[in-house]
Structure 1
Amino acid sequence: MFAKLLAAGEKAKREETVYSRSVQATSQAFNVDGTLLHTHTHAFERPPPIPIQRPPAPDKPSTPTLPIPPNPPTDTLPEKTVPPEEPLPPLFQDFEAKKASIVDILFKQNTADGLGAPCPCGVAGATRTTMCRECWNYSAACTSCFVKSHVHAPTHWADVWSPDRGFFLRHDISALPGSPGIYLGHGGSPCPNVALGFVPQETFTIVDTNGIHSTKVQFCSCGIGDRAEQLLNARLFPGTFRRPRLAFTFAMLHDYHIHHLTSALPAYDYIAALRHLTDGFFFRDAANPYDQFRDVFKMWRILEAEMRAGQLHGIDRFFPRRPPGNLAVMCPACIEFGVNTTHDEAAISDPSLRRLLFTADGNFQANHYLKTMEPKLISFYRGRAFFPSDPQYRVFAHRIKKDGQGSEQKTTCSYLNAINKQEKKKFVGTDISGILNIQCSHVFVVSTVDLQYGERFLNTDYAWHHAFLQRGLPTLEEMENLTGLFSYDIGCSYRVHALSRFLSRDELRDVADLVAKFEYCVPLVHVSNHKDNCLYLYSSAYRTGAGHFHGEQAEQVWPYSNQFGGQGRQMCNGNRQDLYIDLFNYWNFMKVVLLPAQLYNDLIRAAALKDEKLKVFISHCQSYSDKVPEWNKESREARTVHRKEVCCVYRHTPSKVPSQRRIYQALVDKAEGKGSLVAEEVSDEDDSMLEDSDNDEPRPPSPITLSPKHPRPCSLAQALDIGKGSSAKNHVHACGISSTRDSNFVDEAQVTPQVAEDIEDINPEIENNTPEELPLFLPSHYTPADRVAKGLVALGTLELQMLEGAAYDNLARLRTVVRLLGAMGSDSKKNDYGQARHTRAKADLINANIKFETCMAQYNATRRAMISLGLPETDPTFKKMDRNSTRRKATTENQAVGTQSSQPRKRKNKAKDKGEEPTSKKSRTGSPVATPLGADPVPASADGEASKDQHGWLWDIKSSSRHVSDKDVDAFLEEGNRVQWFRAEADVIRWQEEWERKLIEFLRTIRHYDKMADVWESLATSADSSPSKAAVAMKTSKRYLELSRRCEDVFRQAGYVYRRPHSSPRMADMTPAASTQQGIDTAADGGNNRAGDSPRPPMEATMTFQDRPEGTRNLNLTINNAIHPPPSSSS
């Protein structure tokens, strides 16, 4: 019965749904052609739903129910509150207040005062009908007055009032009554050889920055030049040189060139904007000169390049080493013999000061589509800039394709294998897959070549060869002490046969001797994707004379050039090369102007970091003073291979790193006192922090743990009939602590009866519930006055001595724990794969971190007791311990990118800003520690920001020579100290080299500016220079002179003085402060001093010319002073 009723109810529900959906039905009738004839809506009457009968529920015990309150009346419901709008900034508040008046003024621009009134010119019948919106303060006038006032501005639009329409109509000047034209050759006046009253009939299109004008032009008939020359004299560039009918103003071409270089504005979009300026509504009616504009701009661009480079002045005679007709903008700071390098520098053997630095990198965004009907337009630069001669390079590239890969040998580096296996489909449809740039360390583009289906070594060889020719080859004498460093993301494989490739190719053989001077490295970010061996073979961090040449400069130009990728791939290859040469020249030009500021920032940064790194290095020397003399004898350049792994002083020997379980067991054995007990090992009283490590599963730490020397009171548990739960364990532990405490209190009352009364006054509640919180009534428990009153001063002195020893023991144990934890994390990342191993490693790391927390808490408790006994809180040895204090670079890991510098963290912890406890992501192993210990916990600097390269003060305390019990772990820790010391030394040397190189680069930059100023001044005063050429040359000379003066000022702000080797006639044009040969007062902060520091005295830049052996002796002296400090503290 009940089932039938349910079935009837479900059927009623379905019928109700059907009726509700078909209350209205619409029928439509259509004609034969498909048009709608009529629409009719049918209404249906919905039947009532079928009631559902349910059987009575079985009897249940009644339960009281709460009464349901009635719904409140609608008029008493609280209204939804709308949050108030945030107030606008003051500027926009003022705009809202002025908006009405601004709108009135804008509307007034559509009319003018005095329209229809007689024109002030007094001509009969002349009325004010014409306005010019481009002339300032122009009043309405008649059309004749407009033409007369715009003889020298014929491209201004004429707005003529139409009384019939009631608004202004825009006209070209030739569309005004009388059809006035634009007259060339006589300052805007008609040519006298043209018949009086002659009206030009030819329509001429002029493109200006305000739009596209269809006007009429009258050429001169006096024989002063053909039509093209007359247009050029009028600052109009013709669209063709035979019978021009279209021209572009110089202002428009220059305007587009700047917008194009700064914002990657395409020519098509610029012409479209000009058409909109011509007619904002019917813009398609305006002429479209896009095709002619592309050709004109190609010619305009090469003319500007030749004028800027001085080729039209004959500048090649002053730079005989550069290739003839060179149009590339050169780097002022890099070595260029005969320009910014003196003969005195040729004798310097310092590899960091006489080193050529190049980077190479490819970009596949600058590709080119393969087209069947492409115009064969060649580049106007013809190999005189970054791209080599295209016909010669095509022959070379065809020979590469014919010969095959050839020199690309197989490699074991995973990064290069990934490059070779990259998807080839992205090159389909392209005949040029991208470009490859050679750049200097200052991010100046030096040379560029096209790539065919990926990066081939011979493409890079040709680009590097062209880069050498751009600056000129050095002589044999100049090459004697010259070195080089070449950074390439696949440099580990490129270097293998680089010299042999140059020797085997006729096109490359002339620079083979220079290539032999180069070493190779991989950029610091890219090398992290290579095998670990590449880091120690090709990282600039461990390369003598490399400074801070990280090699990633090659990537910095691509975000700028990639904006033009969509334009370049659609052009013919000649126009495409012109495009990239132009934008790379603009990039280099911007660098030339801004180079002093860049060098200043680099110099200040290097000066600060070399001092910071030196402090870190000295602290390492003091910590490992007994080992440093032996370590200092090892070679920094030696690289050996053991079991396919590179071994050097900067790397842990991979086969010697013990496993995580072995390190953990050594840590447990050390804390439990197994093996030989030494001073650095923990004492018996500290063994309670360790739990049984035999269990593989992690266990949460118990608040109370029995010390191993105290027997477990099993009999007490049985007497009390307590189970085996966790509460029973805690109760048993508490009983054990209570019994030990009572025994200690009895002994303490007998030895020091002064505290017997305090022992008797113990709160019973604390004694029974939390016995671990009871004080021990030692002298450190009392204030100084109470110790004097109770006669505990002598005992307090003894306790302080014992606590000091315990503090040293805690610090020594902390150092060992942190180093072992770092190795455990490193081993877990490499070897713990699979659920079982991962779970076991997670348990070990959790337990090990608990041990670390306990050890750190023990030290802080000891320190608080020592402070109570009189230790100053600012004691330099026993500082407050936190995670930052234990920071130490992990020697088992490769040196991370960015650890050579101290840059503030970009991401801030919001919890820290709010005063809460900072939190961070949980580690992969599930460790509760925010930062992996021993693997660079991040400390906080003085300003609250974290610093990457500061190690904790824990490592400044002199280390003990005693070790843990396991011999392999002992050797591992010893090698870790050695690796840490050598890496710290490498950081000091690299930043010292970087600082010295920036100083000499400042000198080269100033010399380059001076050289260019002298050259352009000579070009201005040469006999074959016309007045116009002389004016351009003199203006350029003064610009370079101003650059030199500004660079000297920036150099002076950094705390140094540049002294010229000889006086120059141009010195009279400089300010007295810039031309003085005496020391310069630097009382003001020059930017290299921090707040509170005394200003740095001026220093002659020539002091930087010193050989590396002297610098090495100074570093050895620093090491010796750190190991054996001078007897006098003042020194």
Structure 2
Amino acid sequence: MDLKFQTQDSDVHSRKRRRGADTDIMPPARLVSGFRHGPSRMIPATRPHRIIQTYRISSQPGGRMKHVAARQTTLPLREAHSDPPNFITPPPMAPAADNDHGEHDKTQDSEVPGIELGGAVASKAPVRRSKTAKERLEEFLPNRQRFADELIRYEGLREAVDDRSCASCNAQDAKYRCHHCSLHWLLCADCIMKRHRFLPLHQLELCGAKSHSNTSLHDLGAEFQLGHASGECEFPTLNTRKIVVVDSFGFHLVNARFCQCVSEDGDILPQWVQLLRAGWFPSTIAHPESAFTFDVLDLFCELNFQAKTNLYDFYKTLLRITDNSGLGHRYHLYRQMTHVTRIWRHLQNLKRAERIHDPAGVAATGTAALVVECPACPHPDRNLPEDWEKTSEDDIWIYFLFLMMDANFRLRCRDRGLATIALAPGWAYFVKEGPYLKHVKKHAKQEQDNSCTAQHSAIAKANLHKEGFIASGVGGVFCARHAFARPSGFGDLQKGEKYCNMDYLLLSTLIGFTLMLLLISYDIACQYHKNFEKRMKTYRSRIQFPLQESTVRWAIPKKHFQVHGKDHAHFSLNVVRKVGRTHGEGCEPGWAHLNGLYGQTLEMSLSYRHEVLDDHLGSYNWQKTLLLCSQLAKNLIEAQKQAEIQAISFQEFTSTFDPEIITTWQEQVEAWYADPTVKPNPFEDDAHTRSINDVRKKLAESEAEELSAGILPPSEVSPSVFIQVGLELEEQQ
């Protein structure tokens, strides 16, 4: 199959004419399914042109894409209101010839980068090597003085050095300019106030004869009318109110005038609502005197998600942006900003989960309604075929839900005795606190026996409580295939990693889940699974799971498996069948993502802490959703490649053994899989302990037999002495 698509280059008037590359007529645009069809209006050929690059991609055996040809055409620009440019055309009927090198036009432009489409890259020229840091600095140093001069010029009067007249009305007393407007013109007071009638948060600069200083529209007496998009009100308040508005450029004083117009319902729009409609989030409902723009709240949330910037540092940064001299006005709005950002997080989560338009209202939000679920995990009635239950036993593993459990003792929380209100109790990833704590208190004395040869911290420290902390960590459940945080799968740990805590989190995330096929990975699965069914029968019916009707398999993550002793092979993800290359360690990146919040959440109230961690888990899941398609495609390519390599390696290795031995081994493996607790494990080597003295004795006996047979050693140093001396030298080094 051939696929042809086009890209456009810059204005041809700024480039040299290419031989045979100019045409004045463009054929009617035809777009593939999903795009607009129809001709495009054209303008005379005397207007500036653009260069259309046409690429042809040919599919090769094995699914590979190959660049076959590239052609360039110069076309006139369309009018301002014409249809979108035609970048994609249907594939041609006849396939292109297979050409390893591709027949490039001699007129192709080496400055146009390769175009990526659906994983195939069409490149017209070899990719140029990126400059090193040293080369970039070598390029900068000869121009360093010019850079510095231009920087000073930018901060100075620029073109207005000799002419201080207003750029708008030509008045001679122009001395103001705006920091935020793209055109930093020097304007008079009247003109700059007219231009900023609807821009009250722009910062101004007063350009004096000898020095420059910061000023504001507030200092010039500008007023901002709220309640009307036009900025005009028939019944405004008699007096203005000085409001501190915080945006991403700092703190601003605004002379705000509220609207007192009576609506059809006979009510006056509340002042805090008028601020919201202006894009300013009020700090209080009654008589607001400070507000935060939606943009600055969004900026903080994104910085908090990505860089883990805490609110205090963000707040101090805004103060420095406003005035870094220490001589300006002092603002004390940190507590107000803490309150507003908490509400903002909550409202944004409700909006993203489509809860605001619910006829029953926001308060009707149910358990785990605000989560970003893994789209690739099996969900009956959503992404599984209708007859998936009829799948054969050999293929039913495709529909297994893979889960992994773990605890994080980094995310502790101090007990400060703070009383607060939970805005989203159990609505996302953390379980509802009341029922959870009641469950833990009731079953806290459960025995946690350890018959494993390894000493597990999760069991040894199950009753460990650190003084002064209300939570010693966080327990969580992730999906093991894609490492998404599971809904209602997280909760605080009060005294270590107790079974009753982890039971509740595991069973909570399975509430309402109708798929009875599970594989659960846990670093202490060898002990945890033993009495799981017995423990579950003592819990409330709401969180019980029908194990008798389910298929549940247990496994130990690959990295944690190394510390376990013998007779654990049936928990190994390298041995358990139908798990692919699942490693079960996907919890660790999730915890690493949250560990940056340790300092921020350490002294929060539990409910506020849950909301922050919920928000970050949602962001974590969303970022994984964005990368899921490319990651799954990458994994598929790697799996196909490795399947071929490993199949060849396995066949070559198998061919070195007698077929009867292979048959015997296969029978042993199948017998062990049928009953791994009784049959000998074919995946574990027999442990033969042999000391150095045993080796010396064996070598000495062998030498004695040779001497008795008349075989003399080739040198004075016998093999046993040689090996012994070598081992001693190695130990000394």
Q: Please confirm whether the aligned pair reaches a TM-score higher than 0.5, indicating the same fold.
A: yes
User: 1:399 & 1:510 partners in 2: Cα distance?
Assistant: 16
What displacement does 1:89 show? 2.4
What pairs up with 1:437-836 in 2 under 5 angstroms? 437-441=476-480, 442-446=482-486, 447-469=489-511, 472-474=512-514, 479=516, 483-507=517-541, 509-513=543-547, 517-534=551-568, 536-625=569-658, 626-634=660-668, 635-637=671-673, 647-654=680-687, 692=718, 698-699=724-725
Match of 1:353 in 2: 398
Amino acid at match of 1:180: A
- Are 2:327 and 1:259 aligned? no
Q: Does residue 382 of the first structure (1) align with residue 421 of the second (2)?
A: no
Q: Distance in 2 between matches of 1:514 and 1:388?
A: 26
Report how far residue 461 of structure 1 moved: 0.6
Q: Is the 8 A contact 2:458 2:498 kept in 1?
A: no
After superposition, give the CA deviation of every residue in 1:39-96 in whole Å (9 maximum; x if it has no partner). Answer: xxxxxxxxxxxxxxxxxxxxxxxxxxxxxxxxxxxxxxxxxxxxxxxx9823212322
Whichever residue aligns with residue 544 of structure 2, its letter is D
Cα deviation for residue 668 of structure 1 reads 8.4
What secondary structure sits across from 2:476 in the alignment? Answer: strand
How far apart are the structure 1 equivalents of 2:320 and 2:374? 41
Structure 2 residue aligned with 1:391, among 419, 434, 441?
Answer: 434
Distance change in 2, residues 1:549/1:283 (3 Å):
farther
Tell me the C-alpha RMSD between the 2 structures. Answer: 3.4
Q: 1:244 aligns with which of 288, 305, 310?
A: 288
Query: What is the aligned counterpart of 1:310 among 340, 354, 358?
Result: 354
Which residue of 90, 94, 104 maps to 2:135? 90
1:211 is aligned to 2:253: no
In structure 2, distance between residues paired with 1:337 and 1:221: 54
Query: Is the CA contact (8 Å cut-off) linking 1:671 and 1:690 kept in structure 2?
Result: no
Change (3 A) 1:592 1:515: farther
Could you tell me how far 1:246 is from its partner in structure 2?
A: 0.9
Distance 2:644 2:572 in 1: 23
**1:106 counterpart (142, 151, 170):** 151
Please tell me the residue identity of whatever aligns with 1:698. Answer: Q
Post-superposition Cα deviations, 1:459-512, rounded to whole Å, max 9, x if no partner, equal 11111112113xx321xxx54xxx321111111110110111112211555314
Question: For residues 398 and 601 of structure 1, do their structure 2 counterparts lie closer, same or farther at Cα, with a shift above 3 Å needed?
Answer: same
Distance (whole Å) between structure 1 residues aligned to residue 366 and residue 595 of structure 2: 29
1:180 partnered with 2:222:
yes
Q: 1:357: how far off?
A: 0.7
Distance across 2 between alignment mates of 1:396 and 1:452: 12
- In structure 1, what residue type is equivalent to 2:166? C
User: Contact between 1:437 and 1:448, CA under 8 Å: does it hold in 2?
Assistant: yes
Distance 2:539 2:405 in 1: 20
Tell me which protein shows more helix as a share of its residues: 1
Going from structure 1 to structure 2, the CA distance change for 1:139 and 1:492 (only over 3 Å counts) comes to same
Is residue 145 from structure 1 mapped to residue 191 from structure 2 by the alignment? yes
Q: Determine the C-alpha separation between the residues in 2 that align with 1:615 and 1:201.
A: 82
Could you report, residue by residue, the CA deviation over 1:792-834 in whole angstroms, capped at 9, with x for unpaired residues?
xxxxxxxxxxxxxxxxxxxxxxxxxxxxxxxxxxxxxxxxxxx
How far is the alpha carbon of 1:306 from its aligned partner? 1.4
Tell me how far 1:611 sits from its aligned partner: 2.3
Moved more, 659-668 or 444-453: 659-668
User: Which secondary structure state, in structure 1, belongs to the residue aligned with residue 544 of structure 2?
Assistant: helix
Relative to structure 1, is the Cα distance of residues 670 and 556 closer, same or farther in structure 2, using a 3 angstrom cutoff?
Answer: farther
Distance 2:576 2:336 in 1: 54
Distance 1:346 1:423, change over 3 A: closer
C-alpha separation in 2, matches of 1:146 and 1:556 = 52
Q: Secondary structure at the match of 1:312?
A: coil
What is the 5 A alignment of 1:293-308?
A: 293-308=337-352
Contact 2:200 2:254 in 1 (8 A): no
2:410 corresponds to which of 349, 360, 365: 365
> Structure 1 residues 430 and 257, CA, compared in 2 at 3 Å: closer, same or farther?
same
Instruction: Check whether the contact 2:414–2:470 (CA below 8 A) recurs between aligned residues.
Output: yes
**What is the aligned counterpart of 2:473 among 431, 434, 456?**
434
Maintained 8 Å contact 1:363/1:435: yes
Alignment of 1:329 with 2:372, yes or no, is yes
CA contact (8 A) 1:499 1:516 kept: no
Asked whether the 8 Å contact 1:110–1:168 carries over to 2, the reply is no
Match of 1:529, SS state, is: coil
* Structure 1, gaps ≥5 residues long: 1-86, 678-683, 701-841, 847-921, 927-1131
> Tell me, what secondary structure is at the counterpart of 1:449?
strand
Q: Secondary structure at the match of 1:223?
A: coil
- Say if 2:331 is the partner of 1:287: yes
Distance 1:670 1:162 in 2: 103
**Correspondence for 2:453:** 413
Paired residues of 2:450 and 2:459 also in contact (CA < 8 A): no
CA contact 2:474–2:491 (8 Å) conserved in 1: yes
Q: Residues 106-125 of structure 1: matches in 2 within 5 Å?
A: 106-112=151-157, 113-114=159-160, 117-119=164-166, 122=169
Corresponding residue for 1:84?
none
Count the aligned residue pairs: 584
C-alpha contact 1:205 1:214 (8 A) present in aligned 2: yes
Q: Which amino acid aligns with 2:242?
A: T
1:143 deviation in Å?
1.2
| TM-score (norm. length: structure 1) | 0.48
Letter in 1 for 2:504: Y
Report the alpha carbon displacement of residue 114 of structure 1 after superposing the two structures with TM. 3.7
Query: Retained in 2: the 8 A contact 1:465–1:508?
Result: no
Closer, same or farther: CA 189–354 of 1 in aligned 2, 3 Å: closer
TM-score normalised per structure 2: 0.73
Cα deviation digits, residues 857-905 of structure 1 (max 9, x gap): xxxxxxxxxxxxxxxxxxxxxxxxxxxxxxxxxxxxxxxxxxxxxxxxx
Q: Match of 2:611, as an amino acid?
A: D
Secondary structure in structure 2 of the residue aligned to 1:437 = strand
Q: Which has the larger radius of gyration?
A: 1
Aligned mates of 2:360, 2:390 — CA distance in 1: 28
Deviations, residues 390-446 of structure 1 (Å, cap 9, x unaligned): 111121222234xx1x24224243222x44445988722101001011001211010
Kept in 2: contact 1:147–1:173 (CA 8 A): yes
Q: Which amino acid aligns with 1:444?
A: F
CA distance in 2, matches of 1:581, 1:531: 37
8 A contact 2:367–2:426 mirrored in 1: no
Query: Cα gap change, 1:296/1:513 in structure 2, threshold over 3 Å: closer, same or farther?
Result: same
Task: Please report how far the alpha carbon of residue 653 of structure 1 lies from its aligned counterpart in structure 2 after TM superposition.
Answer: 2.9
**Which secondary structure does the structure 1 equivalent of 2:477 belong to?**
strand
CA distance in 2, matches of 1:618, 1:294: 64
User: What is the SS of the residue equivalent to 1:230?
Assistant: helix
With over 3 angstroms needed to count, the CA separation of the structure-2 counterparts of 1:689 and 1:696, relative to structure 1, is closer
Cα 1:234–1:686 change in 2 (3 A) is farther
Determine what percentage of the aligned residue pairs are the same residue. Answer: 21
